[in-house]
Amino acid sequence: MHDIKAIRENPEAFDAALALRGEEGWADDLLLIDKHRREAIQWAEEAQAEANKAAKEAGAAKGRGDEAEFERLRTLSAAKKQEKAEREEKARIEEAQMEQILMTLPNAPLPDVPEGSSEDDNQEMHRWGNPRNFAFDPKEHYEVPGAATGLDFETAAKLSGSRFVVLKGAMTRLHRALAQFMLDTHIDKNGLTEMWTPVLVRDEAMMGTGQLPKFEEDSYRTTNGWWLIPTSEVSLTNTVAGDVLAAKDLPIRMTAHSQCFRSEAGSAGKDTAGMLRQHQFEKVEMVSVTTPEESRAELDRMTKCAEGILEALDIPYRTVVLCTGDMGFGAQRTHDIEAWLPGQNTYREISSCSVCGDFQARRMNARYRPTPEAKPQFVHTLNGSGLAVGRCLIAVVENYQQEDGSITLPETLRPYMGHATAIAANGTLIH
């Protein structure tokens, strides 16, 4: 959420930043509401002062036996108290209106974010690895025999409908192995703290990270009011909601493996084949909470943590910085990591790492003290996939497929797969 004080101080800069996100001319509207709100607060304070003065003078009039003056002043005091209540209600309404607008406006991009309106304007930062030259036409993951036996979309449709999958046998173990490998790497090598958090959260948590109120249709809600998390970014980031942290305890770096749930609203007809875009999937998430001075460097660090997973699996990838028109709602800058999928002959997103500045912290009221005596300031938050487990499974299957339909297993994963070296074309493990 944006700071109304900053908008007040530099409305032109605010409008210019949001124009890059496709939002035009909000400063004047917000500042008018803010003006009315502050006037109402001032008038309420003046009315309270007048009520107090009248009450004091009424007491004096009572003491000297002037009943007429006492009644006049008592009536005046009551009227001023009523005026105070009305002004406070007006201020509350203006505050709610201003907050409603601020809660639906996207974050302002950092100066080093490229301008653009769509993914066509994203800029490639670098590539790693060379796509393999196949002696045959590589298949998509759901067509590779060694994987196809373990990807049961028909049963999943019977259970739940489209955009679900039932994993079987070696595919289930590969999926589990990938998640375990990611967690171990982030904990042992990257220094993140493993967490386990609920997948059901309250409205406040979804508001805190920006899923509500603007993107309600993208998530699932239970009949008793909980929300199924679209990513554990929601639960991890909100662990510091309402807190005042000590600077010595920052940065906080967390990781969690969780189920994720997304309605995929607006994606009808997109990526319907296979398990690239699902309503239920798993991710290993990374979240950092840090100081304003360190947050931009933390984004680069988080990006390297995600890239390191693909490098350890020897999967070619490229990293792009998203343009202003393609960034997520809460991001100041986003790095997308795209794995090479030979079956599609293209790179596809497998991780998205974003720095949010104090945008989420304001919504959550998450702060820290630079020194023990200092006034609390808002922390900065970051989040990133480290990685999307299902998409990583797709990348392994497609990059390691063999002409006979088998799938060679990356050496890094073999200890997690009972030291199997491959998955045969019939879906069994080869030791």
Choose among 90, 111, 106: nearest CA to 33: 90
Q: Is 369 an annotated catalytic residue?
A: no
Cβ neighbours of residue 281 closer than 8 Å, sequence gap 6 or more: 259, 260, 262, 275, 388, 389, 390
Q: Residue 150 in contact with residue 141, Cβ under 8 Å?
A: no
Beta strand 244-246 with 367-369: parallel, antiparallel or unpaired?
parallel
Active-site residue identified among 74, 277, 369, 414: 277
Active-site residue identified among 262, 301, 363, 367: 262
Q: Residue 417 in contact with residue 174, Cβ under 8 Å?
A: yes
CA dist 225 → 197, 206, 209, 228, 259 (Å):
18, 12, 17, 10, 19
Which tokens belong to 8? 């007040």
Q: Is 277 an annotated catalytic residue?
A: yes
Q: Is 83 an annotated catalytic residue?
A: no
**Whole-angstrom Cα distance, residue 91 to residue 43?**
10
**Whole-angstrom Cα distance, residue 245 to residue 144?**
50
Amino acid found at 359: F
**Whole-angstrom Cα distance, residue 120 to residue 370?**
41
The alpha helices in 64-187, defined as continuous H runs, are 67-102, 145-148, 153-159, 169-184
Q: At what angle do helices 169-184 and 389-399 cross, to 10 degrees?
A: 110
Q: Residue 134 in contact with residue 112, Cβ under 8 Å?
A: no
Q: Is 349 an annotated catalytic residue?
A: yes
Q: Residue 407 in contact with residue 169, Cβ under 8 Å?
A: no
Active-site residue identified among 288, 352, 354, 385: 352
Active-site residue identified among 8, 127, 349, 362: 349
Residues forming the active site? 262, 277, 349, 352, 391
